[in-house]
A and B are shown apart, each in its own frame.
Chain A
Amino acid sequence: MDRPFAITLEVGSSLANKTGAWRTERPVYLDRFPPCNQNCPAGENVQGWLYHAESGDYETAWRILVDDNPFPAVMGRVCYHPCQTACNRGRLDEAVGINAVERFLGDEALRRGWTVPVEAEPSGKRVLVVGAGPAGLSAAYHLVRLGHEVTVVDSAEEPGGMMRYGIPRYRLPRDVLAAEIQRILDMGVRFEAGRTVTDLRAEMERYDAAFLAVGAHVARRAYIPAGDSARILDAIKMLRDTAEAEPPQIGRRVVVYGGGNTAMDAARTARRLGATDAVVVYRRTKDRMPAHESEVADAEAEGVRMKWLSTIARADGGKVLIERMRLDETGFPQPTGEYEELDADTVVLALGQEPDLALLEGLPGVEIDKGVVRVGPNMMTGYPGVFAGGDMVPSDRTVTVAIGHGKLAARHIDAWLRGTQYTPPPPPPPATYDRLNTWYYSDAPAQLRPRLEVARRITTFDEVEGGLDESTALFEARRCLSCGNCFECDNCYGVCPDNAVIKLGPGRRFMIDYDYCKGCGLCAAECPAGAITMVPEET
């Protein structure tokens, strides 16, 4: 054989030596459940859509988002973002501004006119949705995408429910809301305005299933001894009248009674309607208020005063009598017998709302418990084919929860109409903070959303919180740690001393070459996202 000078052997490669045989543990890629996704009441794949926003592919990001939630622009304004509370980055510096990026995507979609196609085969089934609030519209959206014919009826003239008639304009501009609702209606959802469903049983003869989401619009009252001249309003009516451009006369001094988000909305609205003095009276302490922290902070910034540990004992003649309270050992407020007088032209009651369940009368099997409708894990009431969600069932009453109910109910309704069962896939293992290798994430401060100055906030209904622009939204998206999910940083590919990680190319991630992987575990240890786990080899 012809070999070069002094070469006596063919060169053999060490590739003949399959070092994978040494392995006692094997690295395996997996997708863990990021805390943002886990905590989203609407079941959004937050990490999933942020991943695409990170590369500037906003349309793909938006499409993944609206797969779960048809209201990103609304969400980006009114959601209390429990995702951010759970965000692992919060333990590193500050949580990722998921809500701000969501709003950017939502607004971008409206600007560019992105729509959601209906691709399912028509099922021939008809579904009635009662209530055009977030739960009803979310259910309608998902049902129509699943091929069903959907009719939404609402007693109001415009769709939106509490999003339109409850949440003030300065938090949710009506053009944004209208555009996102129109996008759903354009998918073929029929909307019947100004129709109140009174006899559901009769309706059910024309529909194969129904989803009830009538909300909770009936204000809870408290007995307050009041003189003839006392002016007492309920907050829901005040917000609704303001939304319909017929704001009530409230005078200069307004006392709002209650400690929830509605109370904050009412007090802030009162400021905008010209009240120079808006006081929130709440019987417990600040930390026990049901109102969201950010709402309380916003109200205080706008000059709303807070009176904790106080109840209204009497209202009359431009005055309210306040009794001081103290919390007993169980945290329940008890009267102290100490009184104080406040000037008040109007007292606004914001003591909670209850649903009007008149439409359920005569429907056998439906159970009502503590003023709300009981539903099973599949969101179905005791009457077969009638499902319910949103504020009329036991839940946290937020827009996001309602949207989540709509989605969940739609999946179960779809299964019910097809005679099958909807079983949600088992959740993957959680992507906890200790799984991350945080060394690899660069230091990046959170981007702040611009806010309207207070002087303009209290004189107009202009939107208080601004949005991020493209560069800041991109930056914010890139702060995502991608917890538990590969984001193709190439670390595993790089740190393997045995070249046993194969890079499959953009978007296709990696695979392990078990012929050579010795199972050292470096790839798993140095994966920033914790998306590799070591599994013992069978012996």
Chain B
Amino acid sequence: MPVQEIKFYQTGSLVVGNRLLDPERRTVQADPGRPNTLTSGHRACQGCGEALGARYAVDAAHRATGGRIVVVNATGCLEVFSTPYPETSWRVAWLHSLFGNAPAVATGVAAALKVKGRTDVRVVGQGGDGGTVDIGFACLSGMFERNDDVLYICYDNQAYMNTGVQRSGATPPAARTATTQAVGPEPGNPFGQGKNAALIAMAHEIPYVATATVADLRDLEYKVHRAMEFRGARYLHVLVPCPLGWATASSDTIRVARLAKESGLFPVFEAEHGEITAVSKIRRKVPVEEYLRAQGRYAHLFGDPPRTDVIAALQALADRNIRRFGLLDEEG
């Protein structure tokens, strides 16, 4: 495990902070003076996973760089809810790009800083899954293959939530979106489509690729910190549940992210130079059904009669992830 496990402090390494720990061993988010790079008053929905994930990640980058970062933000929910004219929620140097060119703009910022001799200032590009996995993908791949000195963070909520929950290349099979309605013999998003952006990033053999969720703060902060130890292109893919698009209770955001990981549907791992170096093991394995049932976008699987065939197919995907990434400890 890359994150050093803190044992027997009542809650170990699982909670945000811990009064019994030395301050330097606590998370950035536990710090009463944390940067709050994404501050209050933003217009994200109640229980927004993306707002939470973005603050977690950018605060960690802020800490890792001593505050010397420039953030380039693709169009999308994150940009819209954080910067409605004439306000901003960002408390870092922040640029808004088009929907599809954030990686290219980030490359430009990194190049400009290099020209100015300010390589101490680091660049973070960020966007949702639509701007990253679909629309900005050519720019992202270019940024990777040139190994530009940018950490690109994708906040994956698995559809175009900002424009009304349309399917993206990151939408999972069987999920209902506005463009993949729960009708017909194969309701929701078709099986066999979409892409795994983290694995594609790895195929570029860039220095660092990792996945994370908003349910494991220590792991996420570690990965941002680790990414900042490399120069060159780095990619972090963070699962951020969307109460609106997933039709979950606003209080369930973290629980659902946790179930995504614990069911095996969302493997959490890190890779250096194209090779996986660590995976986060499943701690309390759950069947995919527990994850699916919490979400209205899968409600059509639990009608009368329930679509046990589709649930079984999703379970098979989780089981494949568990085998492929070695998500379970041998002891079980």
Instruction: State the A residues within 8 Å of B (CB).
Output: 9-19, 22, 54-55, 439-444, 475, 478-482, 487-491, 493-500, 503, 505-506, 513, 515-516, 518-522, 524-526, 528, 534
Contact = CB atoms under 8 A, between A and B. Distances in A.
B27 A442 contact: no
Interface in B38-85: 38-44, 46-49, 51-52, 55, 82, 84
Interface string B8-20: 1111111111111
A493 B89 contact: no
Given A16-B41, A17-B42, A482-B10, 15 more contacts: A12-B86, A13-B87, A13-B89, A17-B87, A478-B10, A487-B19, A490-B29, A491-B15, A494-B17, A495-B254, A497-B51, A499-B36, A499-B40, A520-B243, A534-B251
B10 A494 contact: no
Contacts of A487: 10, 19
Nearest to B214: A495
B295 interface: no
Nearest to B15: A489
Of the candidates A11, A439, A506, the one having the most CB atoms from chain B within 10 angstroms of its own CB is A439
B21 to A, nearest CB: 10
Given A54-B10, A495-B254, A528 B15 contact: yes
B17 A489 contact: yes
Interface residues of B, number: 52
Contacts of B7: 442, 444
Nearest to B91: A13
Given A13-B89, A15-B39, A498-B42, A442 B14 contact: yes
- Pick the 8 closest A-B CB pairs, nearest first: A490-B17, A442-B12, A494-B16, A521-B251, A14-B41, A520-B47, A520-B46, A520-B250
A493 B17 contact: yes
A490 B87 contact: no
A8 to B, nearest CB: 10
Contacts, number: 165
Interface of B: 6-20, 26-27, 29-30, 32, 36, 38-44, 46-49, 51-52, 55, 82, 84, 86-89, 217, 243, 249-255, 258, 284
A14 B17 contact: no
A520 B251 contact: yes
B11 A441 contact: yes
Contacts of B55: 497, 499
A54 B251 contact: no
**Chain B contact residues, majority secondary structure:** loop
29 contacts: A9-B86, A11-B88, A13-B39, A13-B87, A14-B87, A14-B88, A17-B43, A439-B14, A439-B258, A442-B7, A442-B9, A444-B8, A489-B16, A491-B16, A491-B17, A494-B15, A494-B27, A495-B254, A497-B49, A498-B42, A503-B32, A518-B47, A518-B250, A521-B46, A521-B250, A521-B251, A522-B251, A522-B253, A522-B254
Nearest to A494: B16
B249 A521 contact: yes
B87 A12 contact: yes
B87 A16 contact: yes
Contact of A19 (B10, B13, B30, B41): B41
Given A12-B86, A54-B20, A520-B250, A440 B14 contact: yes
Contacts of B40: 14-15, 19, 498-500, 513, 515-516
B292 to A, nearest CB: 19
B46 A524 contact: no
Contact of B11 (A489, A495, A525): A489
Of the candidates B10, B17, B26, B32, the one having the most CB atoms from chain A within 10 angstroms of its own CB is B10
Nearest to B251: A521
A495 B46 contact: no
Given A22-B46, A54-B20, A442-B8, A495 B52 contact: yes
Contacts of B15: 440, 489-491, 494, 528
Contacts of B13: 442
Given A478-B10, A494-B217, A55 B20 contact: yes
Nearest to A17: B41
Contacts of B39: 13-15, 499
Contacts of A495: 16, 52, 254
B47 A521 contact: yes
A526 B39 CA distance: 21
Contacts of B8: 442, 444, 475, 478
Contacts of B29: 490, 493-494
